[in-house]
A and B are shown apart, each in its own frame.
Chain A
Amino acid sequence: MLQRDLSRAGAEKRTARRRALRRMTQMLSILFTASALIGWSLPALARPTIEELKARAVLDDYEANIVFGYNIVMQTNKYAGRYAGSSLSCTSCHLRGGTQPEGFPLNVAGVYPKWRAKNGVRNGIGMRIRDCFLYSLNGIMPPEESPEVLAVAAYVSYLSEGEVIGRPPKGWGVPTLPDTGADPNPPRGQAIYQRECVVCHGAKGEGQGPIPAVWGLNSYNAGAGLNNVQKLAGFIWANMPMGNERSLTHQEALDVAAFINLQYRAFDPREGRLKKLAERIYHRLTTIFGQANP
């Protein structure tokens, strides 16, 4: 009697254990599928595209600011016309709205603040953006807390999602070309410019529509980062001619860069003084009287 009871109890215990085990595996598999599903959909949740943001009925302030920042980057003269000074937009150099690796991508929020030799102080992302307005856009430096600067900063943060804080992103800036062993040669650069660039950028470097002016008073000024031949050569080699990138040799890119940066452009605002003021007045007069790029 007792033995039978005992064996029955043992059997019951065993089935109970088996049942618990089965339930656990079930739970685990559900958990696993769920986490896999979530993991798969996370990138989709993580960053809506600008088009998705624009289609939404209600944006919170951060998202609205991102859209504003994107608009400024794509059409600087329309959305930040208050501080723009040339016909360039941010996207003229930060290609495809700052999403092109090795084309000055804008996913750099994790790199700032940092010290820069250019102005000799620690730069937050705001200061960095303001510098772009002053030099590369040849415009007016907006105040640190102006809505335009805050919007572009929000857009930079948006692009930087997923980047490692403190580490430069992949494809940061433009590639540094290796030493070609020869000096840049502007006359040869001019020939290459006539062959490769003139169709879009024009014989006087004036650009047209969204295609940026590469010299003259409507282009970046002499204080801009691209006024450095090495940097411009890297940019040209990696990104130009558009649609046929990296077709120039390193030496050809250097030659074109040297040619372009030998042409006249607006003064470096750090030289300041009354020179800059006179230039502005001259530029304004020439714009009014129809000779946009003399």
Chain B
Amino acid sequence: MSLLREMRPDFSWWRSADLRRETVAGWTGALLVIPQAITFAYLAGVAPEYGLYCAVFVALLSSVFGNSAMVGGPNTAVSILLGLTVLPFAGRGSPLFTELVLALSLMVGLIQILFWLLRGAELFRYFSPAAITGIKAGVGVLLITAALEGGLGLSPMTTNFFYEKFYIALASWQDLVNPYAVSISGITIAAGLLLKKRWPRTYILGAVLIGSLAGGGIYGLLGPVQSQLELLGHVTLHGLPLNLPRLGPQHLLFMEQVVPQAIAIAVLGLAQSLVIARDLKARAAKDLDLHKEVFAQGISNALGPFFSAFAGSGSFNRTSVALEMGARTPASGIVAALAVVVIAWVLGPLLAWLPMPVIAGVMALVGIGMIQVKEIRPLRNRVDGPAFLITLLAVIFLSLETGILVAVAVSVGFFVASASRVKLAVSHDGDKEHIVVSGNLFYASLDRLAMQLRNDPTTRTVLDIARVPYCDASALALIESVRRERQLCGGRLDVITA
């Protein structure tokens, strides 16, 4: 029954929604998502249309089925992973590549629904926020490198590690670098960084505008041949881009081979969405059903491919903009999805002349935005610091998928470490020993207590376990055996329980 309730779109927020604020937030979100959708489609290796479809349909479905102001749609890390996963199987951007990206998105959605059925939201409670910050910062670095590659035209080159490309670029910059493209990217980034102080949320729009004007000027003065500028090209949008994901033998073979990556993408998408949802829950102190959000993510990604949209997830930056504009319900997400259609349709002809260096600039700006000192600074402690650093380095130097696995491992590791930490307060009262235990007593945390108790079998000890929330059979067995030993040797063990 509760499953059915989570599956059903719930419009009970309708009465309490402040529609004027939600509409304003929705339109702002729509303006913001368009450059991001195009950029993320580039990262996923498909035509820009698919990113816009994702910003429309995945966002719409996740808002309709969800129950929060979380804004879904195209997501940086998910897009990068989609592109990287399909890359070995088809030529980037070819029709087969696009079909495989959509098939993979379908898989991701189905896996997320499976997570929902298995009550996977519980699992993400243990995902360390430090590791998530590490992934975010790592993705930020990846984006900045991707932007530099795009700006310098190094993308077809593969190197072992990202920094090697910069050696190549520095060594032969005269042959590789198109000065016009680089200056347009530079202008976009500089404009973005300057505008960020004034408009900390919507600065990307200004950057795109200024970059496009600079690009248009250079293109108009020099023409395509002399400037060698890459343009976005015509974006042909359909109102209802229905699409039956093709599942021929080739696609099934592919799907069989990428199950691990699909799981990684599903986990990453859910992890980001649930961190946002948890944040919303803490902020609005609202009764927010995490299971329902998991289902919303899964169903929107599973149905997305039927509307030519690749997988997405909740977006940190767009959700925070929506919240700041006063969005409190899914209404803003629904408005945003519909507004994207209108804006893309009106701007469509202009988008064709968007210079690709501007897209590279947007990528860099999004990347810079993802590395937030504000979030990283509180992590300077003994648990969060290493978790953050290990995840970050794994993402940068190994790969994003490895980074996710490392993040899971690190979260579980630190959780286990902190759970098995037991504090012993030992005090002496004459010849009587007083031990106060706090922490969980179970097989993994018994060592220190056992050492303390077995120290000298002739002492008289009072063991206070009133503050132990959980005590397993092996701990009881230990206490029993120590007590018997003391009785034999003339000591004594008294246990105080709550």
Q: Inter-chain contact count A-B, CB under 8 Å?
A: 91
> Does A208 touch B at the CB level, under 8 Å?
no
Q: Please classify how large the interface on chain B is, using the bins under 10, 10 to 19, 20 to 34, 35 or more.
A: 35 or more
CB pair A57 B349 closer than 8 Å: no
Our pick among B97, B216, B235, B353 for the contact of A82 (Cβ within 8 Å) is: B235
Q: How far is the CB of B97 from chain A (nearest CB, A)?
A: 7
Among A263-278, those with CB < 8 Å from B are 269-274, 276-277
> Does B453 touch A at the CB level, under 8 Å?
no
CA distance in complex: A277, B91 (Å):
33
> Does B233 touch A at the CB level, under 8 Å?
yes
Our pick among A84, A141, A273 for the contact of B221 (Cβ within 8 Å) is: A273
A272 and B90 in contact, given A81-B234, A81-B236, A140-B352 (Cβ under 8 angstroms)? no
B412 contacts across to A, CB distance below 8 A: none
CA distance in complex: A276, B219 (Å):
10
CA distance in complex: A134, B225 (Å):
9
Q: How far is the CB of B90 from chain A (nearest CB, A)?
A: 6
Q: Mark A135-159, 1 if CB is under 8 A from B, else 0.
A: 0000011110111101100000000
CB pair B225 A272 closer than 8 Å: yes
> Does B226 touch A at the CB level, under 8 Å?
yes
CB pair B225 A140 closer than 8 Å: no
CA distance in complex: A57, B246 (Å):
12
CA distance in complex: A84, B231 (Å):
12
> Does B327 touch A at the CB level, under 8 Å?
no
Q: Please classify how large the interface on chain A is, using the bins under 10, 10 to 19, 20 to 34, 35 or more.
A: 35 or more
Our pick among A65, A150, A277 for the contact of B220 (Cβ within 8 Å) is: A277
Q: Mark B316-360, 1 if CB is under 8 A from A, else 0.
A: 000000000000000000000000000000000100110010000
A147 contacts across to B, CB distance below 8 A: 91-94, 97
**A140-B233, A272-B224, A273-B220 are known contacts; what are 14 more A-B pairs with Cβ within 8 Å?**
A57-B248, A58-B248, A64-B90, A64-B94, A83-B234, A142-B233, A147-B91, A147-B92, A150-B91, A151-B91, A270-B223, A270-B226, A274-B221, A276-B220
**CB pairs A–B below 8 angstroms (30 shown):** A57-B250, A58-B249, A61-B89, A61-B90, A64-B94, A68-B96, A82-B232, A82-B234, A82-B236, A119-B225, A140-B233, A140-B234, A140-B352, A143-B230, A147-B92, A147-B94, A148-B93, A150-B91, A151-B91, A269-B223, A269-B224, A271-B223, A272-B222, A272-B223, A272-B224, A273-B223, A274-B221, A276-B220, A277-B220, A284-B349
10 cross-chain pairs, A with B, having the tightest CB-CB distances, nearest first:
A272-B223, A147-B93, A82-B233, A64-B96, A274-B220, A58-B250, A147-B94, A143-B230, A277-B220, A83-B233
